[in-house]
Chain A
Amino acid sequence: AQKVTQAQTEISVVEKEDVTLDCVYETRDTTYYLFWYKQPPSGELVFLIRRNSFDEQNEISGRYSWNFQKSTSSFNFTITASQVVDSAVYFCALSESDSGGYQKVTFGIGTKLQVIP
Protein backbone atom coordinates (compact mmCIF):
# COMPACT_ATOMS: atom_id res chain seq x y z
CA ALA A 1 0.00 0.00 0.00
CA GLN A 2 1.18 3.48 -0.70
CA LYS A 3 2.24 5.65 2.19
CA VAL A 4 3.49 9.20 2.70
CA THR A 5 5.48 10.17 5.77
CA GLN A 6 6.03 13.73 6.88
CA ALA A 7 8.04 13.25 10.03
CA GLN A 8 8.13 16.92 10.98
CA THR A 9 4.78 17.80 12.47
CA GLU A 10 5.70 21.38 13.36
CA ILE A 11 8.61 23.63 12.45
CA SER A 12 9.33 27.17 13.59
CA VAL A 13 11.85 29.39 11.87
CA VAL A 14 12.74 33.04 12.07
CA GLU A 15 11.93 35.11 9.03
CA LYS A 16 14.58 34.99 6.28
CA GLU A 17 15.86 31.60 7.38
CA ASP A 18 15.79 28.71 4.93
CA VAL A 19 13.67 25.71 5.82
CA THR A 20 13.30 22.24 4.35
CA LEU A 21 10.16 20.15 4.73
CA ASP A 22 10.75 16.44 4.41
CA CYS A 23 8.57 13.94 2.59
CA VAL A 24 9.24 10.22 2.28
CA TYR A 25 6.95 7.96 0.32
CA GLU A 26 6.35 4.29 -0.28
CA THR A 27 4.84 2.75 -3.37
CA ARG A 28 5.14 -0.46 -5.32
CA ASP A 29 4.33 1.20 -8.61
CA THR A 30 6.87 2.47 -11.10
CA THR A 31 4.51 5.15 -12.37
CA TYR A 32 3.32 7.64 -9.83
CA TYR A 33 2.99 11.35 -9.11
CA LEU A 34 4.08 13.41 -6.16
CA PHE A 35 2.55 16.67 -5.04
CA TRP A 36 2.92 19.43 -2.51
CA TYR A 37 -0.02 21.47 -1.27
CA LYS A 38 -0.17 24.48 1.00
CA GLN A 39 -2.95 25.14 3.51
CA PRO A 40 -2.70 28.66 4.94
CA PRO A 41 -4.56 29.63 8.12
CA SER A 42 -7.58 30.59 6.01
CA GLY A 43 -8.07 26.87 5.33
CA GLU A 44 -8.04 26.50 1.56
CA LEU A 45 -5.76 23.98 -0.09
CA VAL A 46 -3.44 25.33 -2.74
CA PHE A 47 -1.62 23.18 -5.26
CA LEU A 48 2.12 23.96 -5.42
CA ILE A 49 3.82 21.35 -7.58
CA ARG A 50 3.46 18.01 -9.32
CA ARG A 51 6.30 15.67 -10.19
CA ASN A 52 6.02 12.39 -12.06
CA SER A 53 8.14 9.39 -11.22
CA PHE A 54 10.15 9.59 -14.43
CA ASP A 55 11.32 13.13 -13.91
CA GLU A 56 13.95 13.49 -11.21
CA GLN A 57 14.99 16.97 -12.13
CA ASN A 58 14.84 19.38 -9.27
CA GLU A 59 12.61 22.36 -9.67
CA ILE A 60 12.84 25.93 -8.51
CA SER A 61 10.03 28.44 -8.45
CA GLY A 62 11.03 31.71 -6.89
CA ARG A 63 11.88 31.02 -3.25
CA TYR A 64 10.52 27.47 -3.48
CA SER A 65 12.52 24.47 -4.60
CA TRP A 66 11.88 20.76 -4.64
CA ASN A 67 14.35 17.89 -4.48
CA PHE A 68 13.07 14.56 -5.80
CA GLN A 69 15.28 11.54 -5.16
CA LYS A 70 13.93 8.15 -6.17
CA SER A 71 16.89 6.38 -4.57
CA THR A 72 15.74 7.52 -1.15
CA SER A 73 12.01 7.82 -2.00
CA SER A 74 12.01 11.42 -0.93
CA PHE A 75 10.47 14.59 -2.29
CA ASN A 76 11.66 17.42 -0.07
CA PHE A 77 10.53 21.02 -0.24
CA THR A 78 12.78 23.96 0.59
CA ILE A 79 11.71 27.53 1.18
CA THR A 80 14.54 30.01 0.88
CA ALA A 81 14.48 33.25 2.84
CA SER A 82 11.21 32.39 4.53
CA GLN A 83 8.52 35.01 5.02
CA VAL A 84 5.62 35.29 7.44
CA VAL A 85 3.23 34.59 4.55
CA ASP A 86 4.79 31.15 4.25
CA SER A 87 3.24 30.18 7.58
CA ALA A 88 0.91 27.32 6.74
CA VAL A 89 0.45 23.60 6.85
CA TYR A 90 2.17 21.87 3.96
CA PHE A 91 1.04 18.51 2.67
CA CYS A 92 2.96 16.06 0.55
CA ALA A 93 0.85 13.63 -1.49
CA LEU A 94 1.37 10.57 -3.66
CA SER A 95 -0.83 9.40 -6.52
CA GLU A 96 -0.53 6.06 -8.19
CA SER A 97 -1.60 6.05 -11.81
CA ASP A 98 -1.98 3.09 -14.11
CA SER A 99 -3.01 2.58 -17.70
CA GLY A 100 -6.62 2.36 -16.63
CA GLY A 101 -6.51 5.84 -15.19
CA TYR A 102 -6.80 4.66 -11.63
CA GLN A 103 -5.88 7.50 -9.35
CA LYS A 104 -5.67 6.92 -5.64
CA VAL A 105 -4.12 9.81 -3.78
CA THR A 106 -2.57 9.50 -0.34
CA PHE A 107 -1.64 12.54 1.71
CA GLY A 108 0.86 12.86 4.50
CA ILE A 109 -0.34 14.26 7.82
CA GLY A 110 1.17 17.63 7.05
CA THR A 111 3.93 19.84 8.44
CA LYS A 112 2.89 23.02 10.17
CA LEU A 113 5.38 25.78 9.42
CA GLN A 114 5.46 28.88 11.54
CA VAL A 115 7.62 31.76 10.37
CA ILE A 116 8.34 34.17 13.18
CA PRO A 117 8.90 37.81 12.27
Chain B
Amino acid sequence: EAQVTQNPRYLITVTGKKLTVTCSQNMNHEYMSWYRQDPGLGLRQIYYSMNVEVTDKGDVPEGYKVSRKEKRNFPLILESPSPNQTSLYFCASSLRGRGYTFGSGTRLTVV
Protein backbone atom coordinates (compact mmCIF):
# COMPACT_ATOMS: atom_id res chain seq x y z
CA GLU B 1 0.00 0.00 0.00
CA ALA B 2 1.34 3.42 -1.00
CA GLN B 3 1.79 5.45 2.14
CA VAL B 4 3.77 7.85 4.26
CA THR B 5 4.62 6.41 7.66
CA GLN B 6 5.38 8.62 10.62
CA ASN B 7 6.52 7.50 14.03
CA PRO B 8 5.66 7.93 16.78
CA ARG B 9 1.99 8.94 16.62
CA TYR B 10 2.10 10.46 20.07
CA LEU B 11 5.05 11.74 22.06
CA ILE B 12 5.37 13.53 25.36
CA THR B 13 8.83 14.77 26.20
CA VAL B 14 10.61 17.23 28.46
CA THR B 15 12.21 20.51 27.50
CA GLY B 16 15.71 20.07 26.12
CA LYS B 17 15.64 16.34 25.47
CA LYS B 18 16.58 15.66 21.86
CA LEU B 19 14.06 13.75 19.81
CA THR B 20 13.57 12.49 16.28
CA VAL B 21 10.32 11.93 14.45
CA THR B 22 10.78 9.51 11.60
CA CYS B 23 9.10 9.69 8.21
CA SER B 24 9.27 7.14 5.44
CA GLN B 25 7.49 6.86 2.09
CA ASN B 26 7.29 3.91 -0.28
CA MET B 27 6.20 5.73 -3.44
CA ASN B 28 9.61 6.83 -4.72
CA HIS B 29 8.54 10.45 -4.37
CA GLU B 30 11.12 13.15 -4.94
CA TYR B 31 9.57 15.74 -2.67
CA MET B 32 9.15 15.44 1.06
CA SER B 33 8.13 18.02 3.55
CA TRP B 34 7.35 18.60 7.21
CA TYR B 35 4.48 20.71 8.47
CA ARG B 36 3.20 21.68 11.85
CA GLN B 37 -0.47 22.34 12.48
CA ASP B 38 -1.59 24.72 15.19
CA PRO B 39 -5.10 25.99 15.95
CA GLY B 40 -5.92 29.10 13.95
CA LEU B 41 -2.68 28.93 11.98
CA GLY B 42 -3.35 26.11 9.56
CA LEU B 43 -0.39 24.10 8.31
CA ARG B 44 2.98 25.77 8.23
CA GLN B 45 5.92 24.33 6.38
CA ILE B 46 8.99 23.62 8.49
CA TYR B 47 11.42 22.13 5.97
CA TYR B 48 11.15 20.54 2.59
CA SER B 49 13.37 18.43 0.41
CA MET B 50 13.44 18.22 -3.36
CA ASN B 51 15.62 15.12 -3.47
CA VAL B 52 18.39 13.29 -1.66
CA GLU B 53 20.77 15.72 0.06
CA VAL B 54 18.68 18.70 -1.09
CA THR B 55 16.75 20.43 1.68
CA ASP B 56 15.57 23.95 2.34
CA LYS B 57 13.82 25.94 5.01
CA GLY B 58 10.11 26.51 5.01
CA ASP B 59 8.29 29.21 6.91
CA VAL B 60 9.05 28.08 10.46
CA PRO B 61 12.41 26.24 10.53
CA GLU B 62 13.74 27.57 13.84
CA GLY B 63 14.43 24.82 16.34
CA TYR B 64 14.25 22.02 13.78
CA LYS B 65 16.68 20.03 11.66
CA VAL B 66 16.15 17.57 8.86
CA SER B 67 18.20 15.26 6.72
CA ARG B 68 17.58 13.43 3.46
CA LYS B 69 20.25 10.76 3.13
CA GLU B 70 17.93 8.34 1.38
CA LYS B 71 15.04 9.08 -0.93
CA ARG B 72 12.47 7.31 1.20
CA ASN B 73 13.35 8.83 4.61
CA PHE B 74 13.05 12.36 5.91
CA PRO B 75 13.43 12.53 9.69
CA LEU B 76 12.61 15.64 11.71
CA ILE B 77 15.01 16.38 14.55
CA LEU B 78 14.40 18.61 17.52
CA GLU B 79 17.77 19.12 19.16
CA SER B 80 16.44 20.94 22.21
CA PRO B 81 12.64 20.91 22.24
CA SER B 82 10.76 23.74 23.90
CA PRO B 83 7.09 24.02 24.92
CA ASN B 84 6.33 26.25 21.90
CA GLN B 85 7.08 23.25 19.71
CA THR B 86 4.08 21.44 21.13
CA SER B 87 2.05 20.81 18.00
CA LEU B 88 0.67 18.31 15.52
CA TYR B 89 3.29 17.42 12.93
CA PHE B 90 2.73 16.02 9.48
CA CYS B 91 5.17 14.57 7.04
CA ALA B 92 4.21 14.56 3.37
CA SER B 93 5.61 13.43 0.06
CA SER B 94 4.77 13.98 -3.58
CA LEU B 95 5.96 13.83 -7.13
CA ARG B 96 6.79 17.19 -8.65
CA GLY B 97 3.66 19.29 -8.99
CA ARG B 98 1.39 16.60 -7.60
CA GLY B 99 -0.72 16.63 -4.49
CA TYR B 100 0.89 15.60 -1.27
CA THR B 101 0.32 12.29 0.41
CA PHE B 102 0.39 12.95 4.14
CA GLY B 103 1.39 10.77 7.04
CA SER B 104 -1.03 10.19 9.90
CA GLY B 105 0.52 12.88 12.05
CA THR B 106 2.58 13.02 15.23
CA ARG B 107 1.14 14.79 18.23
CA LEU B 108 4.07 16.16 20.22
CA THR B 109 3.80 17.63 23.69
CA VAL B 110 6.84 19.29 25.26
CA VAL B 111 6.54 19.92 28.99
- Which chain A residues have a beta carbon within 8 Å of chain B's beta carbons? 33, 35, 37, 43-47, 49-50, 52, 91, 93, 95, 97, 101-110
Contacts and interface: CB of A to CB of B under 8 A. Distances in A.
A97 B41 contact: no
Contacts of A105: 33, 45, 48, 100
A103 B33 CA distance: 10
Interface string B75-111: 0000000000000101010101111111011000000
Interface in B6-60: 30-31, 33, 35, 40-45, 48, 50-51, 58-59
B98 A107 contact: no
B104 A44 contact: yes
B97 A47 contact: no
Contacts of A93: 43
Interface residues of B, number: 28
A57 B46 CA distance: 32
A44 B42 contact: no
A107 B97 contact: no
User: Which 7 residue pairs of A and B lie closest in terms of their CB atoms, listed nearest first?
Assistant: A109-B42, A47-B99, A45-B102, A107-B43, A50-B99, A107-B42, A110-B42
A101 B58 contact: no
Contacts of B33: 105
A35 B99 contact: yes
A102 B50 contact: yes
Contacts of A95: 97
Nearest to A1: B59
Contacts of A108: 42
Given A102-B50, A104-B58, A97 B97 contact: yes
22 contacts: A37-B99, A37-B100, A37-B102, A47-B100, A47-B101, A49-B99, A50-B99, A91-B42, A93-B43, A95-B97, A102-B50, A103-B50, A103-B94, A103-B97, A104-B45, A104-B48, A105-B45, A105-B100, A107-B35, A107-B42, A107-B43, A109-B42
Contacts of A37: 99-100, 102
